[in-house]
A and B are shown apart, each in its own frame.
Chain A
Amino acid sequence: MSIVYADNNATTRVAPEVFEAMRPFFEDQYFNPSSMYEAATGPAAALKNARASLARHLGGVHPDEILFTSCATESNNTAIFGVVKANPARRHVVTTSVEHPAVLNVCKELEREGLEVTYLPVDRQGRLDIADFVRALRRDTLLVTIMHANNETGVVFPIGELARIAKETDPAIVVHTDATQTVGKLPIDLGGELRHVDLLAFSGHKLHAPKGIGALFMRRGTPCRPLLLGGHQESGRRGGTENVAFIVGLATALELAATTHEADEARVSGLRDRLERELVARIPLVEVNGGGAPRLGNTSNISCHFVEGEGILYQLSAAGICASSGSACTSGSLEPSHVLRAMGVPFTAAHGSVRFSFSRYTTEADIERILAVFPEVVANLRRLSPYWDAAANRPRPEAEGMLHGAPAGHAR
């Protein structure tokens, strides 16, 4: 049985073109790009070209503003810890309550170190309120770190606008964004729309490059201390021998995305919209989380009231469909997704959320397979649920009240 892969916000398959571009650097082009001999000029040139290519595709920035790292988590850590270390006089950070753990847990660590962090709330659709953001900015605000698009719901934040407001308020505020979910999916114009953003983090494996390569855009003049000290690589801002093959892979992947993303976006979001339309029509009491907000075209976060997401995923997996869930049982903690809870999604739905995320390799047939399987998977679990009246195919009367009750926060 072939696999339907619908978990591209977790990772993507490596594009064949990317794999081919990387190959020479595992074979005869294995030299350290820092070495002096003639043979090493190949890898050194490849590194230089890759950096220039990234700089070009991110809005015509300077190549020396691109740092290569091992992953988006490292890029985020480098950005946030680096800015804090370089600016001991300021002690306040603004972020959101729906960040990826690679930012959220760094902010929690900053709090332990004595900084103050403001976590901006989101509304029921996952959107920020600009007025909240304005109110959060303080005289001692050092850093704004807000994701470009949410990994669970695909909701896109107006980061260009937020960055401008921060800079106009106080040019010394540093603006960082975790763009892991948007690079390769949305145009990233650091010379235009995002010209007020100082730091932008992302990784390769969300855009069909391999796992183990990340990048950090660091605008010239941004006060930021390095996280990894070592050799002179990356102008001393990140020690460690450059992963030439993977860097070439990342550059190739971004070039591919740049040439195809408009067409991909239209096709993929068309498939996603069709999936959502039909699931909402076929299954009672499902809702699209973030459906009312600007969203990435590839992401669909669907909540099925009164069932638990892990049981959905297990059955989908048995049918060869790969997806993920915000349910407590899949989160590694005992709480459902912090993103859905911040949005005030009721418990009846937060535990039963499933995320499908597509890519340019997703086909019409993949969508058909999901449509053929998913409604039955939900019905199977609802038959077992003490909150569901299977005969009438609706919640039991005593459970109706839970649908809108007690949104965020904890039980009881």
Chain B
Amino acid sequence: MAGGIACRRYGLRRREGGMTWEYSEKTKQLFMDAVHGAPGTHMGEIADPDGFGEHGSIACGDALRFTFRCERHPSDPLQDRIVEARYLTFGCTSAIAASEALCAIIEQGGYSPVRALSITNQDIVDFLGGLPEAKIHCSVMGAEALEAAVFNWAQKRGVDLAALGLDITRQEQEEGRLVCKCFGVTEPYLRRKIKELGLRSIPEITNAIKAGGACMACHHAPGGLQDVLDEVWGRQPSGLITLPTLPEVRAEAPARAELSPYKLAKQIERVLEEDIRPRLVDDGGDIEIVDIKDTTVYCRLAGACAHCAGATGTMKLLVERVLKERIDERIRVIAV
């Protein structure tokens, strides 16, 4: 695909104050028509289709299932003609509008499946009258699902796309090192999309194929988005963002206590179990140790004690006093 990604060409801007519905009238109209099932819309799934393709997943936030039906040529599959296209889409306003656009372009153009491969995400963006930058991936999803469907058609019709000089290697998306784990984007796929869509920066990659849009750990990691960009386009001389490095995590100061923390905790548990719990149980209550840190004991009172107004007092007076006497003067009890 020639040229940069669509956003620049259309000069669409984010509305002041955040990301809202900066959609073209066409996008809004297609969406509303789709949700209301207006005549001429393409929601649905063709039973026993000639081509079937999917892209995206529910985890990623959008997913498209695209199917088409052909008028089959009796002898030459390459002259099959797509006469019907349908979609089911989980996704936002522009994802649904882009799906409508894809189906409309194909049906109106009377494409053969092979010629449909020339439809790019840019064509979808054009049909919609532009898309906001952050939504370019919706058009890419349409083009990807179409490609997958044509590949599926070729398999069914016994057409060797590679022999036609068409480079559709769907496997590359599934195989290869994962660069963006959040959106499952592999290095070969990333490389191809960077070249095809002319992506020059990390934000452009994210807007187009989502990679790097979630945890961002892959941005500047070794072998991450920036490294792949550098390999494809050559290293940019300057202006690279250098992330501040995190200092070493310092170790905690060692605990100071005559008894080892383990032995102290053991003793506290034993005294609680043998001397304190029985007294509380006699009163219909119970006690549970939540944590012991050095000489601080965090306890939860259960049973009758839990709702007793004097619960905290009971803790302090009984538990703390006994523990202090038996084990260590420094022990403190905190009710949680």
The judgment on whether A and B are partners is: yes
- Listed in ascending order, the chain A residues whose CB lies under 8 Å from chain B are 91, 111-112, 114, 116, 130-131, 134-135, 137-140, 161, 165, 168-169, 306-311, 314-315, 317-318, 327-330, 332-336, 347-348, 351, 377, 380-381, 383-387, 399, 402, 406, 410-412
| B35 CB contact (under 8 Å) in A315, A336, A348, A387 | A315
Q: B residues 7-44 with Cβ under 8 Å of A?
A: 18-19, 21, 28, 31-32, 34-37, 43
Whether A384 pairs with B89 at a CB distance below 8 angstroms is yes
Q: B residues 285-336 with Cβ under 8 Å of A?
A: 290-291, 293, 296, 298, 300, 332, 334, 336
Q: Given the complex of chains A and B, what is the CA–CA distance between A293 and B28 in angstroms?
A: 38
Q: Which residues of A contact B36 (CB under 8 A)?
A: 380
Q: Do A91 and B31 form a contact, CB below 8 Å, given A168-B334, A387-B90, A406-B59?
A: no
Judge if B261 is at the interface, Cβ distance under 8 Å: no
Q: Do A308 and B95 form a contact, CB below 8 Å, given A139-B252, A139-B253, A348-B58?
A: yes
Judge if B60 is at the interface, Cβ distance under 8 Å: yes
CB distance from B275 to the nearest CB of A (A): 23
Q: Do A334 and B88 form a contact, CB below 8 Å, given A314-B21, A383-B43, A384-B34?
A: no
Q: Given the complex of chains A and B, what is the CA–CA distance between A399 and B59 in angstroms?
A: 12
CB distance from B243 to the nearest CB of A (A): 9
Whether B181 pairs with A410 at a CB distance below 8 angstroms is yes
7 residue pairs from A and B, CB less than 8 Å apart: A134-B290, A165-B298, A168-B334, A351-B61, A384-B88, A384-B90, A385-B88
Main secondary structure of the interface of A (DSSP, over half): helix
Judge if B281 is at the interface, Cβ distance under 8 Å: no
Q: Which residues of A contact B181 (CB under 8 A)?
A: 410, 412
Q: Do A381 and B35 form a contact, CB below 8 Å, given A130-B336, A134-B336, A169-B296?
A: yes
Nearest A residue to B332 via CB reads A168
Whether B18 pairs with A386 at a CB distance below 8 angstroms is no
Query: Which of B93, B244, B296 has the most chain A CB within a 10 Å cutoff?
Result: B93
Q: Which residues of B contact A169 (CB under 8 A)?
A: 293, 296, 334
Whether B61 pairs with A328 at a CB distance below 8 angstroms is yes
CB distance from A386 to the nearest CB of B (A): 4
CB distance from A325 to the nearest CB of B (A): 10
Judge if B206 is at the interface, Cβ distance under 8 Å: yes
Q: Which residues of B contact A137 (CB under 8 A)?
A: 293
Q: Which residues of A contact B57 (CB under 8 A)?
A: 411-412
Judge if B92 is at the interface, Cβ distance under 8 Å: yes
Q: Which residues of B contact A412 (CB under 8 A)?
A: 57, 59, 181, 183-184
Q: Which residues of A contact B332 (CB under 8 A)?
A: 168
Whether B58 pairs with A165 at a CB distance below 8 angstroms is no
Whether A329 pairs with B64 at a CB distance below 8 angstroms is no
CB distance from A379 to the nearest CB of B (A): 9
Judge if B5 is at the interface, Cβ distance under 8 Å: no
Q: Which residues of A contact B31 (CB under 8 A)?
A: 311, 314
CB distance from A400 to the nearest CB of B (A): 12
Q: Given the complex of chains A and B, what is the CA–CA distance between A112 and B64 in angstroms?
A: 39
Whether A308 pairs with B61 at a CB distance below 8 angstroms is yes
Q: Do A386 and B65 form a contact, CB below 8 Å, given A334-B213, A348-B58?
A: yes
Q: Do A410 and B61 form a contact, CB below 8 Å, given A137-B293, A387-B90?
A: no
Whether A386 pairs with B63 at a CB distance below 8 angstroms is yes
Whether A134 pairs with B249 at a CB distance below 8 angstroms is no
Q: Given the complex of chains A and B, what is the CA–CA distance between A369 and B298 in angstroms?
A: 50
Q: Which residues of B contact A333 (CB under 8 A)?
A: 213-214
Whether B215 pairs with A410 at a CB distance below 8 angstroms is yes
Cβ-closest 3 pairs across A and B:
A411-B59, A334-B213, A310-B92
| A327 CB contact (under 8 Å) in B18, B21, B92 | B92
Whether B43 pairs with A384 at a CB distance below 8 angstroms is yes
Q: Which residues of A contact B246 (CB under 8 A)?
A: 111-112, 114
| A384 CB contact (under 8 Å) in B32, B35, B60, B334 | B35
CB distance from B15 to the nearest CB of A (A): 12
Q: Which residues of A contact B198 (CB under 8 A)?
A: none
Whether A308 pairs with B253 at a CB distance below 8 angstroms is no
Q: Given the complex of chains A and B, what is the CA–CA distance between A261 and B64 in angstroms?
A: 47
Query: Which of A131, A332, A384, A387 has the most chain B CB within a 10 Å cutoff?
Result: A384
Nearest B residue to A329 via CB reads B92
Nearest B residue to A410 via CB reads B182
Whether B90 pairs with A308 at a CB distance below 8 angstroms is yes
Whether B63 pairs with A332 at a CB distance below 8 angstroms is no
Q: Which residues of B contact A377 (CB under 8 A)?
A: 35
Q: Which residues of B contact A315 (CB under 8 A)?
A: 32, 35
Q: Given the complex of chains A and B, what is the CA–CA distance between A135 and B289 in angstroms?
A: 12
CB distance from A9 to the nearest CB of B (A): 15
Whether A386 pairs with B250 at a CB distance below 8 angstroms is no
CB distance from B176 to the nearest CB of A (A): 14
Q: Which residues of B contact A161 (CB under 8 A)?
A: 336
Q: Do A308 and B59 form a contact, CB below 8 Å, given A410-B215, A412-B181, A412-B184?
A: no
CB distance from A221 to the nearest CB of B (A): 22
Q: Given the complex of chains A and B, what is the CA–CA distance between A45 and B45 in angstroms?
A: 71
Nearest B residue to A140 via CB reads B252
Judge if B124 is at the interface, Cβ distance under 8 Å: no
Whether B61 pairs with A329 at a CB distance below 8 angstroms is yes
Whether B214 pairs with A306 at a CB distance below 8 angstroms is no
Q: Given the complex of chains A and B, what is the CA–CA distance between A314 and B182 in angstroms?
A: 26
Judge if B223 is at the interface, Cβ distance under 8 Å: no
Q: Given the complex of chains A and B, what is the CA–CA distance between A307 and B89 in angstroms?
A: 9
Q: Which residues of A contact B135 (CB under 8 A)?
A: 329
Whether A330 pairs with B19 at a CB distance below 8 angstroms is yes
Q: Which residues of A contact B92 (CB under 8 A)?
A: 308-311, 327, 329
| B291 CB contact (under 8 Å) in A131, A336, A383 | A131
Whether B89 pairs with A334 at a CB distance below 8 angstroms is no
CB distance from A93 to the nearest CB of B (A): 14
Q: Given the complex of chains A and B, what is the CA–CA distance between A150 and B216 in angstroms?
A: 25
Whether A134 pairs with B61 at a CB distance below 8 angstroms is no
CB distance from B299 to the nearest CB of A (A): 10
Judge if B107 is at the interface, Cβ distance under 8 Å: no
Whether A308 pairs with B62 at a CB distance below 8 angstroms is yes
Residue-by-residue, is B151-176 near A (CB-CB < 8 Å gives 1, otherwise 0)?
00000000000000000000000000
Whether B290 pairs with A131 at a CB distance below 8 angstroms is yes
Q: Which residues of B contact A330 (CB under 8 A)?
A: 19
Judge if B222 is at the interface, Cβ distance under 8 Å: no
Q: Given the complex of chains A and B, what is the CA–CA distance between A31 and B210 in angstroms?
A: 53
| B19 CB contact (under 8 Å) in A131, A314, A332, A348 | A332
